[in-house]
Structure 1
Amino acid sequence: MSDALLHALAEALADVVTSIDTCDDDVLDPDTAVKWLETTAYLLDRLPPADRRELAGLFREVAARHPEGAWRDDLLKVPEGFGLDDDQHELYCDGVEDLVRRFVEAVRDVDPATPVPTCPGWTFADLVKHHGTTHRWMEHLVRTRAAERVWSRDIPLDLPDHPAAYPEWLARSAEATLRTLRKVDPETPMWSHGAEQRVAFFPRRLLFEAQIHLADAELALGREPGIPAGTAADGIDEFLENLPHLGRIAEPVTRLPDGSLHLSATDTGGGWTITFGSAGYAWTRCGPAADAAAVCVQAPVADLLLLTYGRMRPDDVRFAVAGDRALLDAWVAATAL
């Protein structure tokens, strides 16, 4: 992309965003404006840190070309409004820290033998051990800048003798992981078990590891998981991005009949279309409408995330399903974690 095109696109985006943000309510419905800006914010959040910083600089250059006044002041707010100067790596680390703290608080006083219905055959002891093992494994991978797969079974766990001590062991394991992650440049190349072969892969992966397992614990305790819409949308993206690298579900997906699935978020207006079959697996982010999809599922985005991870079933009353239900069931069975 030429510099001229890059600058032109940045100026066009800054002007459109500022126009939406400053538009009177009687000209543009506020709910529509919020959905448009949330979608843009989400897409910009997915940019690498270096690109986010460059875009923030381009927006400021756009503002500098305008005379002093209200319009220039509003343009200068665009980078801050989208958090382009924020450190995305650190934000993920902060998110992991908060979710692990909440997870430990939720499970600390629960009988370790209590079943976890969303993880058939698991108890709370199994859930906490799995979560802590993941932290131990990923900390080792990042600290050693692993160039190839290292199995979690080969990592020292220092697991306590009694399951009642697992929550505090998990807390210590997460502290060690976050110390390591915060010391390392997220752009550092290394092996990962996902699409992104950089350190940046790991805090994002751990965020959804923590979010989903917190939901497991909360559902087992009869509580409603509270998952922010932005986090849920990013979680669906992260799952779909990494699916081809997850052997236990990537291979079953290749055996699915030709079909397409659309997930439509009723609260944010966002959506995902997934295609699979003889032409291969692919996905794209799109709007709420998906007339061409063989089956469409509508629900709030947090529920769509839990459906994606198999923590909720399509026959739950929260989901409105239209189209080929058998195809949806086949997809859910193939992608079960």
Structure 2
Amino acid sequence: MSDTLENTLAEALAELVTVVETCDADTLDPDTAVTWLESTGYLLNRLPVAERHTLDRLFRDAALRRPPGAWRERMLKVSEGFGLAEDAHGAACDAVERYTRRLVETVRHADPATPVPTCPGWTLADLVRHVGTVHRWTEHLVRTGATTRVRAAKIPLDLPTGPAGLPDWLAAGAETALATLRAADPGTPVWSPGGDPHVRYHPRHVLFETVVHLADAELALGREPGLAPGTAADGIDAFLEDLPYLPGAAEQVARLDRDGTSIRLTATDSGAAWTVVLGGGGFTWHRRGESEASAAVEGAAADLLLFVYGRRGADDPCLTASGDRTLLDAWGAATAL
């Protein structure tokens, strides 16, 4: 792409965003504006860090070509509004650190033999071993630059001699994994279990493995999970992005005889929404709500995350379900992880 075309497209997008943000309700429906801005933000935030920073610069350059005044100031805030100057890779690593620390603190003084109802057949000790294995497996993949799958069973886990040592083992593995991830270039090719075979995929993958299993541990101990709406919404994105690459779940979805039906998810605490459309031997999805969906589930973003991961059913009191319940049941059974 030429510099001229790149600059022109960036300037056109910055102008369009500024127009949308400054329109009054009589000119542009506010819900339509929010939906469009959220969808645009979602797409821009999937860009590699280097390209996000490039777009940040292009937006600023476009704004500074305008005369001083209110319009220039609004255009200068476009990049900030989309978070383009932020380091998504580093932010995901920081989040992994925070949520792993919470998991360590949650299980440290709990009985390792405590059953985990949301992971049938598991105890807290099993859960901690699983999360710690994910951390060590990820560290191995990134450190060695693996371009083909390496099974977790093939890497050394250095497990403690007894379950009492598992919390410290989990913390140590996370520390090593994070050091490796933070030192790596996010754009470096490396095998991943999802659709993005680069280093940048892995912190986000590890984050939601940790977040969901933290919720499992908290529920097992009779506590309500706590998760920020933005993190939960990103977790739903990650789930839908990865689902086609999970052979068992993808095959089950492909077998659903539900072509043309759709499921809408709406986060009541943030207004974020998702629509999943079944058909063609699989599904498509987009980050906006469709009013004519066949079935719908509403709730806080954190509860919706637990719903898509099979930790909450559609009939859970914290969720509101409507429409075709057999569709929700079929989707839940097909996507159970």
Alignment of 1:73-84 (within 5 A): 73-84=73-84
CA distances 1:220-254 after superposition (whole Å, capped 9, x unpaired): 22222222222112111111111111122112111
Long gaps (5+) in structure 2: none
Match of 1:274 among 273, 276, 292: 276
Distance 1:33 1:223, change over 3 A: farther
Name 2:57's counterpart in structure 1.
57
RMSD (Å), alpha carbons: 2.6
| Residues 269 and 287, structure 1, Cα contact 8 Å, conserved in 2 | no
Query: Is 1:288 equivalent to 2:301 in the alignment?
Result: no
What is the TM-score of this pair, normalised by structure 1? 0.90
1:137 is displaced (CA, Å) by: 0.9
Between the aligned partners of 1:23 and 1:290, the Cα distance in structure 2 is 24
Q: In the alignment, which residue of structure 2 is the partner of 1:263? A: 265
Match of 1:67, SS state, is coil
SS of residue matched to 1:226: coil
Give the C-alpha shift of residue 202 in structure 1: 0.5
Cα displacement (A) at 1:264: 2.2
Map 1:169-318 → 2, pairs under 5 A: 169-258=169-258, 259-277=261-279, 279-291=280-292, 293-318=293-318
Q: Is the 8 A contact 1:263 1:273 kept in 2?
A: yes
TM-score of the superposition, structure 2-length normalised? 0.90
**Equivalent residue letter for 1:162:** G
Is the 8 Å Cα contact of residues 39 and 287 (structure 2) preserved in structure 1? no
CA–CA distance in 1 between the matches of 2:190 and 2:112?
A: 36
Q: Following superposition of structure 1 onto structure 2, how do residues 26-175 of structure 1 map, counting pairs within 5 Å?
A: 40-175=40-175
SS of the residue corresponding to residue 276 of structure 2 reads strand
Matching residue's letter, 2:237 = D
Q: List gaps (5 residues or longer) in structure 1.
A: none
Task: Out of 266-275 and 322-331, give the one that drifted further.
Answer: 266-275
> Are the equivalent residues in 2 in contact too, given 1:265–1:288 (CA < 8 A)?
no
What secondary structure is seen at the aligned counterpart in 2 of 1:194?
coil
> What amino acid does structure 2 have at the position aligned with 1:290?
S
Change (3 A) 1:117 1:322: same
**Identity of paired residues, percent?**
59
Structure 2 CA distance for partners of 1:218 and 1:35, relative to 1, 3 Å: farther
Supply the distance in 2 between the matched residues of 1:60 and 1:36 (Cα, whole angstroms).
21
Instruction: Quote the offset at 1:44 in angstroms.
Output: 2.5
CA–CA distance in structure 2, aligned partners of residues 5 and 266 of structure 1 = 40
Q: Secondary structure at the match of 1:219?
A: helix
> In 2 relative to 1, CA 80–323 (structure 1 residues): closer, same or farther, beyond 3 Å?
closer
Letter in 2 for 1:285: H
The one-letter code sitting in structure 1 at the alignment partner of 2:277 is: T
Q: Is the 8 A contact 1:274 1:281 kept in 2?
A: no
Report how far residue 47 of structure 1 moved: 1.9
Distance 1:178 1:245 in 2: 24
- Note the C-alpha offset of 1:166: 0.2
Residues 8-23 of structure 1 aligned to structure 2 (within 5 Å): 8-18=8-18
Distance 1:98 1:261 in 2: 32
Corresponding residue SS for 1:121: coil
Shifted more, 138-147 versus 220-229: the winner is 220-229
Return the letter of the residue paired with 2:271. Answer: G
Comparing 69-78 with 32-41, greater Cα deviation is found at 32-41
